[in-house]
């Protein structure tokens, strides 16, 4: 059994110190074997105590060797070992950059989700200026790669050509980092989001956004950012309108090496957004005070009561209701006896003494905010042909006009 095979057996049996020894012997025989460095890097991170610096060195050598050969799978494995070593050294910003490069090449890498969660837990406790959060690494590191041994023993001269080739490629690759602007191609810039009971977090993935040249604007129902690209043009990103309202005074944006995080504080704690953006136009006055909707309220409470006979569409699971009949039944339940005061259900106390009108006013006045919003929106958008109390249904989109059977809706 050769030294590499012995190293693999030791690694599988969790004898990590022995694995390091065998892979070292194997590298002495073949210093260009990418897999030997990757496996020794893995063993270094698991020895007791672990040697994370040695693990990082092996991973970076492996990355250069794999890049020179154009071996995609080996590049991914080496970059992943590099990211894990950097994480273990508490260089979280550098680790995040390397994990992102792995994700670019293989978004289905199984370990990325676990490491992503670990990394997020570390980064969220750090300030923007913390050294641990800074990104100092380049995609292809500048490291001295061991030269390949010469087979001809008569010419012991050591060849430096492979090492120089790697260094030249590394320097050429890293020139991108000196450009003034974001290095991520426009078609690769993307965003993701998630939410908690009181916060919405939007992440915009783009490398090298300059903090001093990025323009960020956070408003109650929108956010926007603009920053320069390496091509000289600007990249603009905006979400307008957001699904719900946020508090700009407590919301913030964090520009990091590989992304920007927008931490948006909801004004309504516990409200879960079904989508990040809303498809409806903003009407803040409607949400805040409702003064401009008084006319619609009157229409809901008055115009509907003028209809007699037709059964309108409803959100009730039991089917459409005959509101006239329901109002008559309610008024009959508590008829005043001769000489008694009070005793009615308050229906005749509403304007005009119309019991149906009183019924709708009672329904509206006793409803919760979502039910009121559903009644107002459904009646207004359906041109008075529908009245719903189910905001979960009405809030999904526009309520279409639904005329009673035998009637036809015509535009005014």
37 pLDDT more than 90: yes
Mean pLDDT of the chain: 77
pLDDT band at 283 (very low <50, low <70, confident <90, very high): low
The pLDDT score that the predictor gives to residue 352 is 47
pTM: 0.42
How many contiguous H segments (helices) and E segments (strands) does the chain have? 14, 7
Mean pLDDT of 229-246: 83
Q: Tens of pLDDT along 324-338?
A: 666 666 555 545 444
Mean pLDDT of 339-348: 47
What burial class does residue 91 get, using C-beta atoms within 10 Å of its C-beta: 0-12 exposed, 13-18 middle, 19+ buried? buried
Q: Tens of pLDDT along 76-111?
A: 999 999 999 999 999 999 999 999 999 998 888 888
Backbone angles phi, psi at 273, to 5 degrees: -80, 130
Q: Tens of pLDDT along 145-193?
A: 777 665 444 444 444 444 445 444 444 444 444 444 566 777 788 889 8
With beta carbons less than 8 A apart as the criterion, state whether 36 and 145 touch: no
What is the C-alpha separation between 150 and 27, in angstroms, rounded?
14
With beta carbons less than 8 A apart as the criterion, state whether 190 and 163 touch: no
215-219 β-sheet, strand order: 215-219, 222-228, 234-239
The pLDDT score that the predictor gives to residue 91 is 93
The pLDDT score that the predictor gives to residue 281 is 62
According to DSSP, the residues that pair with 145 across neighbouring strands are none
pLDDT band at 289 (very low <50, low <70, confident <90, very high): very low
The pLDDT score that the predictor gives to residue 251 is 94
Q: At what angle do helices 92-105 and 72-88 cross, to 10 degrees?
A: 160
Number of neighbours of residue 138 by Cβ within 10 angstroms: 16
With beta carbons less than 8 A apart as the criterion, state whether 379 and 405 touch: no
The pLDDT score that the predictor gives to residue 339 is 47
Beta carbons within 8 Å of 113's beta carbon, 6+ residues apart: none
% residues pLDDT > 70 (the chain): 69
Mean pLDDT of 217-246: 86
The pLDDT score that the predictor gives to residue 349 is 47
Question: Which SS3 state, helix, strand or coil, does residue 168 take?
Answer: helix
What is the C-alpha separation between 16 and 238, in angstroms, rounded?
50
With beta carbons less than 8 A apart as the criterion, state whether 208 and 257 touch: yes
Q: Tens of pLDDT along 109-122?
A: 888 888 988 989 99
Question: Rounded to the nearest 10 degrees, how much is the dihedral formed by the CA atoms of 401, 406, 407, 408?
Answer: 70
């Amino acid at each position: 059994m050769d030294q590499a095979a012995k190293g693999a057996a030791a690694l599988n049996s969790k004898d990590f110190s022995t694995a390091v020894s065998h892979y070292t012997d194997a590298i002495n025989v073949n210093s260009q074997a990418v897999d030997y460095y990757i496996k020794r890097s893995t063993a270094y991170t698991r020895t007791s105590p672990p040697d994370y610096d040695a693990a990082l060195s092996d991973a970076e050598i492996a990355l250069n060797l794999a890049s020179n050969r154009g071996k995609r799978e080996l590049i991914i494995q080496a970059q992943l070992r590099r990211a894990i070593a950097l994480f273990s050294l508490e260089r979280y910003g550098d680790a995040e950059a390397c994990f992102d490069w792995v994700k670019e090449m293989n978004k289905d890498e199984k370990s990325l989700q676990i490491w992503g969660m670990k990394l997020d837990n570390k980064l969220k406790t750090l300030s923007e200026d913390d050294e641990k959060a800074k990104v100092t690494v380049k995609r292809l590191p500048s490291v001295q790669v061991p030269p390949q041994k010469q087979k001809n023993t008569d010419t012991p001269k050591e060849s430096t050509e492979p090492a120089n080739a790697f260094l030249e490629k590394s320097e050429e690759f890293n020139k991108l980092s000196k450009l003034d602007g974001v290095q991520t191609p426009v078609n690769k810039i993307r965003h993701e989001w998630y939410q908690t009971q009181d916060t919405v977090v939007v992440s915009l993935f783009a490398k090298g956004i300059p903090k001093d040249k990025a323009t960020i604007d956070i408003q109650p129902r929108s956010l926007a950012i603009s920053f320069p690209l390496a091509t000289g043009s600007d990249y603009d990103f905006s979400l307008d309108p957001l699904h719900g309202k946020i508090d700009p005074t407590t919301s913030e944006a964090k520009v990091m090496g590989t992304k920007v995080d927008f931490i948006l504080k909801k004004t309504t704690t516990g409200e879960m957004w079904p989508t990040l953006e809303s498809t409806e136009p903003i009407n803040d006055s409607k949400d805040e005070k409702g003064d401009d909707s008084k006319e619609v309220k009157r229409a809901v409470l008055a115009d509907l009561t003028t209809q007699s006979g037709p059964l309108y569409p409803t959100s009730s699971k039991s089917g459409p209701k005959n509101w006239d009949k329901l109002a008559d039944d309610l008024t009959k339940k508590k008829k005043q006896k001769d000489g008694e005061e009070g005793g009615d259900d308050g229906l005749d106390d509403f304007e005009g003494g119309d019991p149906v009108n009183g019924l709708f006013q009672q329904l509206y006045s006793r409803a919760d905010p979502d039910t009121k919003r559903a009644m107002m929106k459904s009646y207004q958008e359906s041109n008075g042909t529908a009245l719903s109390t189910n905001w979960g249904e009405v809030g999904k989109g526009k309520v279409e006009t639904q005329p009673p059977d035998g009637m036809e809706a015509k535009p005014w």
